[in-house]
Amino acid sequence: MNEEDLFDDTWINNFESEDDKYKIFYIDEMSNIKVNCLYINKNKELEKITEKYINLKTNNKLEKGELIKLIKDNEKIDKDRYKLISILIYNFNLENTELKNFLKDNKDYDLLKKLNNIDDYIFDESIKYFQKLNNIFIIFNAEEKSKLPVTKRIKFKINNGRTRRKRVI
């Protein structure tokens, strides 16, 4: 008898092809993330929203330098300067077993976090299918032009080009 006749591997191939359909529901590392910048004008109205994807230098980690570069690159738009108000991070880090509970009642899950310090941030691994939901929100407020106090200039009156001399008595 032939070895191929003794060992039937079709069930393995069927299992692998079936498993390929569900790979999007396995937890995986993130290599890129979406960044939204929200711009609020002086009237406290949302004025502009920008959206872009950035590639992370290290999987699942936003480094401090990357975050500072994002802030500096986006604080000026259309010749207007904006001041950073807040940074929010949405990390959809649920396990595939928790999805059913999340759909029933999502109040028990805290997926949005406020970043208090500009520092390295490590994202939790998330389901590959839902990685597009992971997001960084950078919120800017219109910077008011500072009104510096006007300094009064003092001018000395010079006596028609004559030199003053101290008289000795």
pLDDT tens digit sequence for 15-44:
888 877 778 888 888 999 999 999 999 999
Residue 73 is predicted with a pLDDT of: 93
Tell me, what's the pLDDT at 104? 80
CA distance 117 to 139: 14
**In this model, does residue 59 exceed pLDDT 80?**
yes
Q: How far is CA 32 from the centre of its chain?
A: 11
CA 53 to CA 32: how far, in whole Å? 7
**Per-residue pLDDT averaged across 80-86, rounded?**
92
- Judged against a pLDDT cut of 80, whether residue 151 lies above it is answered with no
Q: How far is CA 101 from CA 71, 96, 98, 133, in A?
A: 36, 10, 5, 18
Mean pLDDT of the chain: 85
Least confident of 48-52, 77-81, 119-123, 163-167: 163-167
- pTM for the model stands at 0.73
pLDDT at residue 2 greater than cutoff 60: no
User: Would you state the structure tokens that stand for residue 119, as one six-digit string?
Assistant: 């520092």
d(CA 119, CA 101): 32
Residue 136: which H helix or E strand, with range?
strand 135-142
Number of H helices, E strands in the chain: 4, 10
Higher pLDDT residue, 82 or 105? 82
